[in-house]
Structure 1
Amino acid sequence: MKNVKWNTILDSLKLSEFEKARDCLRSVLIKTELIHSRIFSNESGNDVYIKPENLQTTGAFKIRGAYNKISKLSMQQRQRGLIASSAGNHAQGVAFAAQKLGVEATIVMPKTTPLIKVDATKGYGANVVLFGDCYDEAYAEARRLEKEKGYVFIHPFNDLDVIIGQGTIGLEIIQELQDIDCIVVPIGGGGLISGIAAAAKILKPDIKIIGVEPEGAKAMKVSMESNRLVHLDTVDTIADGVAVKKPGDITFSIIKNFVDEIVTVSDFEIMESFLVLLERHKLIGENAGVLSLTALKKIKEKNKKIVCLVSGGNIDVVTISAMIDRGLVSRGRLFCFSVELADKPGELLKISQLLADANANVVKLDHNQFKALDRFMNVQLEVTVETNGHEHIRQIVKVLKNDGYNIMKIY
């Protein structure tokens, strides 16, 4: 393990350190009590609770680690000013903490960062620099500015004070639900799960800790399987908050010793979880924030008490709209298909009646003779209908085929 001694890390991960961080954070945190989820419990076969860190002041858990770290800086360090790199949530945590503690902060964010996160960071008084297309490029630029300007760098995950701050979540979960069996946590660079796993295992050694990464950004899982830190060439996921090419050496070491399992989920599955959380719990989670809920179907255990951490909810309205549409498709709530009809009166009425009889509510129709293979004889009809799940879609397809229609599914 390069430049990191495990004994030094272990000495820092003591219950007293987590308790000090909890006391330090008490004045700036919103209490995020567990929410029992009937829908996720029923779908997973477990007793599922949500830890809604998306309800924190900055919209994510990152305020914990950032505030704990900055509060420990000396006056001389604070006078130099702070710099951080972030895809959004760490940026707001650092900006908020810096403002509260009277310290100037500069945040380097990828150019692809959602506008809501950029504006929120500026709103806490930080200077924002947009650089690069992913977190790792923003990180490199922040490190360059650190040397050039003499700033103090606040790492988003590979820092023990940050990790301990995030770990206060573990204390809160076990205090509230003492007979818990498992905690499921999103993984980006690994700071969040490192802190939670260490704190939780101190209090309850037999608890299971499961990490979750997107399939397109699974740097920690690959590193664990390789037994060494692995730098991914590229990352590709809608979960921008965890799109990290290389995890930290400190977090890698802690995860290796305290985390029991890491699972991966697809972007399509993330969209589905986003929709269920929004529709059934009236909670908004960002793409990275709902990873833990998405992983529930991948967990082998049944009839266990599981807490899923919704780590953040900073997502812009345009993305929310797109996520809802995609989530509806994933859940079988929207069905779009095309079919060629004879170009004569009554054909459109006939297929509309079949759909009505099948209880499919038409959302959109596109009746276009120029799309048909034989535009002089046929008309291509593209139909989007509201449905009640995948079984309902199969019934609609069967009804149409039984009546002689050869349809092509679009989504």
Structure 2
Amino acid sequence: MTDRPTAAPAPAFNAPASAAPVTPDVLTVPRKLPETGRINIVGLTREALRAALIEAGTPEKQAKMRVGQIWQWVYYWGVRDFAAMTNLAKDFRALLAERFEIALPQVVTRKISADGTRKYLVRIAGGHEVEVVYIPEDGRGTLCVSSQVGCTLTCSFCHTGTQKLVRNLTAGEIVGQVMLARDDLNEWPQPGEGAEAGRLVSNIVLMGMGEPLYNFDAVRDAMKIVMDGEGIALGRRRITLSTSGVVPEIARAATEIGCQLAISFHATTDAVRDVLVPINKRWNIQTLLDTLRDYPRLSNSERITFEYVMLKGVNDSDADARRLVKLIAGIPAKINLIPFNEWPGSPYQRSDWERIEAFADIVYKAGYASPIRTPRGEDIMAACGQLKSATERARKSRAEIAAEAGL
């Protein structure tokens, strides 16, 4: 990744609308990586990078300019070698090489589905692994990124939920997933091109492993970097954060990130949702919906997406469909109907196609968009709800999983 321009001209593109106002960063110098003793630039916000440069000896009057220069090289051009940053003085490049590094998570395996979906098994610090999925469509595509190793929510229909939470990802590990996908897709701009030329990762969804709102600060900082108009430059309307319903953090997400919001909803009664999405026992459906009503206004979003996995005989009746549209009345919304993607030992079955279509028809006639998501990447276990790092795949029996789900 060093064959980039010999100079760093200002990016020739129109920056997207900026994100909603954010809480100022605490300007603490990042910790050094124990493996190298250097600070990884990937994942540092502009404010944090400026503080780190000053700590390393950069004069304060130059620090803002240096941040802008480094930012373009790393996030606009995708350069990883300080020596290639030729608009920086040689002695400053030497300082950067001594004190900093540009490091991404390691791709362990890459699998490509028959439908073109790509799934990456990615190793992070400590030897832990997460999965990242790229879903192509019509020349562009959506990147599904992870925010935690494992998950603490234990949603009974989700494969990731059978893996215990190991740790949160850092902002650098989240941004790094976007960068490694751009590497693999060879989509970094070339000389004379704008940011949109050849762009393949056109949307990001925080729908991979983990609950993003239980790792709020790292997710916020990572998305600030991704949305920055002088780098990767994905507008906030192209980023969707999916949550199971961490009510206290939803308002923060609106004001500090400002991206689109998706709710892992999946049930129309507390009794069923308590089993499918156990966080409902803490913040029930009514509490969640009361909070969601303010999100479009606070975040300047057009609507909220309600994700609804179709489980045969569990949540797919006509009565469920009618309750759903009654519950969300007054909330600008669309309903994504997700045919259940089975995984080894799962205690559920996918609803019959005719039942899914009947459910969708009721929702549509009530005035809501109700697209049925086409399963993608099932042959490589990359579909929604199937992610789980290979080294953590506990071989639980179907009976054990069903017992945990209370079935």
Query: Taking structure 1 as the reference length, what is the TM-score of the superposition?
Result: 0.32
Which one has a bigger Cα radius of gyration? 1
Bigger helix fraction: 1
